[in-house]
Structures are given as C-alpha cells and as structure tokens.
Amino acid sequence: MRRFRYLTRAVWLLSLVSLCTDVASEMLYPVMPLYLQSIGFSVFFIGLLEGVAEAVAGLSKGYFGQWSDRLGQRVPFVRAGYGLSALSKPLMAVLATPAWVLLARTLDRLGKGLRTGARDALLADETTPADRGKVFGFHRSMDTLGAVLGPLAALLWLAAHPGQFRPLFLWAFVPGLVAVGITLALRERRAVPSGRPVVPFWASFRYWRLAPAGYRRVVGALLVFALFNSSDAFLLLLARQRGLSSTAVIGLYILYNVTYVLSAWPLGHLADRLGPRRLLVGGLVAFAGVYGGVALVHDIRAFGALFALYGVYAAATEGVAKAWVSTLCAKPDTGAALGTFAGLSSLAALGASTGAGLLWQWWGPVPTFGLAAVAALGVAGYLAVARTPPQPA
C-alpha cells in the first residue's frame, strides 16, 4: 500500500465527492441536447446555452480561486460550490421553458466556478511534484466513473420510460445531495494566505499579469485550443443527426466515459514519467483525429471507435493540463492560477460553442469539426517546442 501513499484521506474524499456529483450531472448531460431540442431549442441556441453557462463558471472560477488564496481556506468554497450544483438539478424539472433552463443551468455552473479553484488547490496541496500527475489522474478517473454511472442510469430510465426526460432532473438530486454530505468530512489544511487584496469580480483574472512567463505560454496556447473546442453536445447531436437512436447516442457517451475512466489514472502515471508536455501534445493529436473523423463517418462502429479515442484524449489532457499548470506558479498562488486557467478556458468555451452553433447552422457540421481539428494540431505543434522556465520559488 505504500505505493499509493499519495492517495491521502483528502484525495479520496474529494474524488468521491466528484464521483457523486458527476453521477448527478451526467445523468442529464447526454440527454440535455435531446431534451432542449424537444422544447424548441435550435442547434445555435443549444450552443449559446452551453457557452453562457460555461462563461458564468469562467467568471466565477478566477474570482473564487483568488479569494480562496487570499483567505488561505479551501473547504468552505468546496462545500458551497457542490451544494449549489446539487440544488440546480431539481430546478430544471420545475418549468420546461428555455429561460428557466438557462437559469438553472447557470446556477449549476456557478457552483462549479465556486468550488473548482479551491478543490484543485486542495488536491495540489496533497501532492509532491513526483506524484502530481497520479493524484490529478486518479481524481479524474473517479470523477469520470461518475460520468459512466450517470448516463447508464439515464439509459436504463429512458429504456423503460421512452421520452420521459423531466423525471431524470429530480432523480439527479439524490447523488448530488450525497456529494454535499461527503464534503462535511473534509478538514481544512493550513495554507499560507496570499495576502493579496480583494479585487472586483470583473478583475478576478488579474493573476494573468502577475503570472510567470511559462504559465502564460502554456495557458495561452491551451486557451487558443479552447476557442475551437466546442461543447460535447455537438458530438452527440451529430451522432443523432447521422441516424443513431437516442439510446445509441447515450451508449456512445457511456463508451467515451468508460475509456476515460480506464485511461486517466494510468496516463497520469505516464505523465509523471514522461512529463506532462508529451502527454498533452499526444492528447491534442488524438482530439484532431476524432474531430476530423466524426465529420466523415456514418456507421455506429466508426462512431464507437472515435468516441473511445475521444476518451483517451480527455484522459491525456484534462487532469494532465492542471498538473502541468500547477507547477508553473508559486505555491501560494495555486488557487488563483488554476482558477484563472479554468475560468479563461470557460470564457473561451462561450466563443467556441456559440461559434460552432453558427458555423453548423450556416455551413453544416463538416467545416465545424474540421476547423477544430486543424486548430488542435497547431496548438500541439506549439506546445511541443514552447519554452517553460523552471517553477518560481
């Protein structure tokens, strides 16, 4: 068991909380675009909804990340954020109107913004440089296990109750409530307050100006990629448009998450051995292959292979990117650095999803996915050669 000593009590608790929260969220995510179409959303407005929701999360991530650093406290932000996300689930079932769905979805993303910087800083505080990729990889594996169980629950429900989407929003409240209960077992770990003054909400990303050059180069490149990385809802809509049934679309999403959960932890180990740069570059190349491929295929087996590769891409980039970024800043600034990265990425998602919706509506899915594939290859090439100075003291 000494091999796994990096899996501390806090790492386990945070991973279990993420698992339960993802069960709740992912019960809804693969059916959300289908549900939204059923209540009158066009492809453009689905992209706009996802983009606005992520932008709200983005604006709050940087702000609450630096607030957490200033106080030297993490746990209150984690508890409040998961609580807000749990509350949003049943609200989506109250009214089936676009405005209300937008409000509830935004509340869910605000909860994500509230907790993300503090949670990732807690994880980073539990690691050493030699184990950082393993810890973030393990957390992503547990998080994505919830993203397998949630869609599976949705699939079973819809198989027994075809077209009955709204009760799922009520059922999703249960695992969300369990996640909030687990956060009560978290203990605050003494952290050094950053001492920086409170900044206005709109100025929460000022850490960018203070960040080391290596942080700005890596995060800047990843933000360019994020501008072309639209919501996964478009992949699900494309599969449905190509003739797959609703249950087959959810099945593809489950396959993606199964591949992700099986890959995240071992790829985290590989990142510690080879360095996060190589793994991240490889993940972006895999993304380009997926987005280039889905624009051309129609067969469910081809979709299955590409969704599985998409799971490998996600496992090789999401946790690994956070692990790399956390080494490019001073330790007291970890929450602000990770929160700013996540926040700016979410803001980029507003442009990505809205732009993808417009591009799809005007010219169709092939240019939409093809442009994203080309952008991913360009960012991969830059990150392969970008200079990243040593971590500051």
pLDDT digits (tens, 9 = 90+) for 162-188: 777 778 888 888 999 999 999 999 887
Q: What is the pLDDT of residues 136-158, one digit of tens each?
A: 778 877 887 887 888 888 888 88
Identify the weakest region by mean pLDDT among 188-192, 201-205, 235-239: 201-205
125 or 367, higher pLDDT: 367
Confidence at residue 20, expressed as pLDDT on a 0 to 100 scale: 93
CB burial of residue 247 (10 Å; 0-12, 13-18, 19+): middle
Q: Which residue has the tokens 């469910």?
A: 300
The structural domains of the chain, ordered by start, are 2-188+208-385 (1.20.1250.20)
Asked if pLDDT for residue 197 goes beyond 70, the answer is: no
pLDDT at 204: 55
What integer pLDDT is reported at residue 205 of this predicted model?
A: 67
| Highest averaged pLDDT of the listed ranges 191-205, 244-258, 363-377 | 363-377
pLDDT category of residue 225 using cuts at 50, 70 and 90: very high
Q: What is the structure's pLDDT at 316?
A: 87
pLDDT value, residue 198: 57
- The per-residue pLDDT for 5 is 67
Over residues 261-282, the mean pLDDT reads 81
With 70 as the cut, is the pLDDT of residue 4 above it?
no
Mean pLDDT (whole number) for 376-388: 88
Q: What pLDDT does 81 receive?
A: 92
Mean predicted lDDT score pLDDT of the chain:
82
When pLDDT is cut at 50, 70 and 90, the band that residue 202 belongs to is: low
Confidence of residue 1 (pLDDT cuts 50, 70, 90): very low
Mean pLDDT, to the nearest integer, of 254-283?
83
The mean pLDDT of 121-126, rounded to a whole number, is: 80
- What average pLDDT does the segment 329-350 reach? 76
pLDDT tens digit sequence for 55-67: 777 677 767 877 7
Question: What is the pLDDT, as a whole number, of residue 291?
Answer: 93
Instruction: Please tell me the predicted confidence (pLDDT) of residue 248.
Output: 87
Give the pLDDT score at 393: 47
**Which three-class secondary structure string do you get for the chain?**
CHHHCCCCHHHHHHHHHHHHHHHHHHHHCCCHHHHHHHCCCCHHHHHHHHHHHHHHHHHHHHHHHHHHHHHCCCHHHHHHHHHHHHHHHHHCCCCCCHHHHHHHHHHHHHHHHHHHHHHHHHHHHCCCCCCHHHHHHHHHHHHHHHHHHHHHHHHHHHHHCCCCCHHHHHHCHHHHHHHHHHHCCCCCCCCCCCCCCCCCHHHCCCHHHHCCHHHHHHHHHHHHHHCCCCCCHHHHHHHHHCCCCHHHHHHHHHHHHHHHHHHHHHHHHHHHHHCHHHHHHHHHHHHHHHHHHHCCCCCHHHHHHHHHHHHHHHHHHHHHHHHHHHCCCCHHHHHHHHHHHHHHHHHHHHHHHHHHHHHHHHHCHHHHHHHHHHHHHHHHHHHHHCCCCCCCC
- pTM of the full structure: 0.72
Higher pLDDT, residue 268 or 390: 268
Q: Which pLDDT value is given to residue 34?
A: 73
Residue 201 scores a pLDDT above 60: no
Confirm if 255 and 128 have CB atoms less than 8 A apart.
no
pLDDT for 203 beyond 60: no
Give me the pLDDT at residue 3, please: 57
Does residue 300 have a pLDDT over 70? yes
pLDDT score for 240:
85
